[in-house]
Structure 1
Amino acid sequence: MADVTLIQMHWWQLAALVIVPFVVLALGVTLLRRLARVRGAEKGEPDWSVPQLENTAGKSPLHQWDVRCKIVTILVYSFMITAIQQMTPAFIAIGLSCLVLVVAQVSLAKVLMRLLAIVGFISMFLLIMPFTVPVHSGDTVIVFGESNWLHFSLRGFGLAGTITAKAVAITLLMEPLLSTAPLPVILQGLSRLGVPEMAGQMVLLSYRYLNVFRHEARRMSAGMQVRGFRKRTDMTTIRAVANFLGMLFVRSFERTERVFDAMRARGYQERFPEQAELRLRALDLVGAGVWLTVGVALLLCDRMVW
């Protein structure tokens, strides 16, 4: 197109533009994981046979907020963030999410680990979209060498950056949602909002016993290594791993039957006792209204200002 702005660059500059940032990102991810591992080693190996369903006692406004109102507000606000189309409001949304983190007084380590979970997702957007987005009229395109088949679109990079910023803003909100109320109370709130109660019970039991089964798998793996088992690419390893998975399934099934029998013996009738008395106050509705007003203001700025 005649009105497309072309910027000529050398091939070695492609490495500086693409490879170097991702190397820095990989080093940062490795450093964060090592830091989390070191902190875990300092605190000692947790006893997963009795996993902690967090007490999450706190005095912040998010701790005192009614869990039903909190779930609905954060969910609707997250959909508002996904509707943002410009990069500047998306970065403002990140700033607002960071402000919520400060108000909620959540653990920075947990927030970083949640961000690490989406690194691969957002990295693919930043890597692929600038090279694959169609060239439109008025775009600025970087061309490498004499080839016209490989181009770097600044508009595509802006789109990828906007998607990344929105993903980060929403991810940052998950920690205030999950860390300011115990998991049973959150599931109780979802049940009051219409989610089937059996689904909440399945999530709670899965959370409780997934770590138990992981502990069982580690114990079995340690026993195999003590007996001289080493992973190799041969049929012996495949048979040993198959036996390992089969035995883990059998033990998990037997434990599940024992747990269910114990629950029935204690009077379980397809309902769990309520963990908290949920009361919707006027202050909760005011907080929801203020938060959603901020979301609407972001959308208006996105559509009318930028």
Structure 2
Amino acid sequence: MIRESFAEGNSWIHGIDPRLRVIGAAAFAVVVAVSYDFTALFIGLILSLCMVLSARLDIRAVAQRLLAPVIFLLLLWAVLPWSYEGDALAALGPVTITRQGVTLCAQISLKTVCLMVAFMALVATMTVDTLGHSLNRLRLPDKMVHLLLITYRYLFVIEQEYQRLVRAMKIRNFHPKTNLHSYRTYAYLVGMLFVRASERARRVHSAMICRGFHGRFISLRSFPRNPLNLVFGLGIIISLALLIMLEWVK
């Protein structure tokens, strides 16, 4: 099962209505994504960090989850500044670094880190099933919610099937090499994994129908009222208004 360490906390952010957190995260993402003013982006980053501190998340774990996007951003910084057309900022031999390329890289970097941190504080602090039921209460299409919940539920089952097939290959003394036999073996592995996943899906669907499933998950989960919901909602509205003013009101 996927470990949801951020959802195990007990901060006041964890007690906020998940539906409100989803709406807040989506609205914050839209505003930050369309912002280009560096003041607005830096304020957004500060707000994201404040959310992380309010959720009492492990800073080391947050940094580890940021490692993958940071590597992608480093690749972006290695290519975009000299390949983007614009005014010359500096020259390194035959390579010219443009001001517009550096600016674009900085904007993309700030937006990426800001949104990743905000989603870790608001969305990763709830379990996947809570997220699914929250989306269902927000009237998102049932099929999207079902796909999310079932994918999460059976992702680790498919991983177990994969490990079982790999062990069977090792028992048969398979040693991967750069030859046609190894490539063919891995192709068989992927094909068998899809076959077993399809067969498991058919059995699960039949079992669900036998238990009265009619295309909709019934959830007994309730989202009790919390006096801090109003505080959180007002905070999100004020934060978004501030970012909009910094970006569009000059």
TM bucket by the smaller chain? 0.7 to 0.9
- Counterpart for residue 100 of structure 1: 51
- Counterpart for residue 116 of structure 1: 67
- Counterpart for residue 256 of structure 1: 201
TM-score scaled by length of structure 1? 0.72
3-state secondary structure, aligned to 2:89: strand
Alpha-carbon distance, 1:193 to partner:
1.7
3-state secondary structure, aligned to 1:62: coil
Residues 1:65 and 2:13 aligned together: no
Cα shift readout 1:14-69 (whole Å, capped 9, x = no counterpart): xxxxxxxxxxxxxxxxxxxxxxxxxxxxxxxxxx4xx5677935442321211222
Moved more, 281-290 or 228-237: 281-290
Residues 1:193 and 2:138 aligned together: yes
Indicate if the aligned counterparts of 1:188 and 1:275 stay in contact, CA closer than 8 A.
Answer: no
Residues 1:284 and 2:232 aligned together: no
Match of 1:133 among 84, 95, 104: 84
- Counterpart for residue 208 of structure 1: 153
Cα shift readout 1:216-261 (whole Å, capped 9, x = no counterpart): 1122112212321122232222322222222222222222222223
CA separation in 1, counterparts of 2:194 and 2:68? 27
Describe the shift of the 1:179–1:144 C-alpha distance in structure 2 as closer, same or farther (beyond 3 A): closer
Residue type of the alignment partner of 1:243: Y
Describe the shift of the 1:171–1:56 C-alpha distance in structure 2 as closer, same or farther (beyond 3 A): closer
Alpha-carbon distance, 1:95 to partner:
2.0
CA separation in 1, counterparts of 2:32 and 2:213? 42
CA separation in 2, counterparts of 1:299 and 1:264? 49
Describe the shift of the 1:52–1:205 C-alpha distance in structure 2 as closer, same or farther (beyond 3 A): farther
Alpha-carbon distance, 1:170 to partner:
0.3
Cα shift readout 1:149-170 (whole Å, capped 9, x = no counterpart): x211244213311210111000
Residues 1:142 and 2:87 aligned together: no
- Counterpart for residue 212 of structure 2: 267
- Counterpart for residue 16 of structure 1: none
Identity of matched residues, % = 26
Match of 2:183 among 229, 238, 252: 238
Unaligned 5+ runs, structure 2: none
Cα shift readout 1:264-293 (whole Å, capped 9, x = no counterpart): 333322222314213566752442232121
Residues 1:219 and 2:167 aligned together: no
Moved more, 74-83 or 105-114: 105-114
Alpha-carbon distance, 1:116 to partner:
2.3
Mark the structure with the bigger radius of gyration: 1
Residue type of the alignment partner of 1:278: F
Describe the shift of the 1:52–1:91 C-alpha distance in structure 2 as closer, same or farther (beyond 3 A): closer
Residues 1:229 and 2:174 aligned together: yes
Indicate if the aligned counterparts of 2:128 and 2:152 stay in contact, CA closer than 8 A.
Answer: no
Residue type of the alignment partner of 2:67: L
CA separation in 2, counterparts of 1:77 and 1:52? 26
Unaligned 5+ runs, structure 1: 1-47
Match of 1:74 among 21, 25, 29: 25
CA separation in 2, counterparts of 1:252 and 1:243? 14
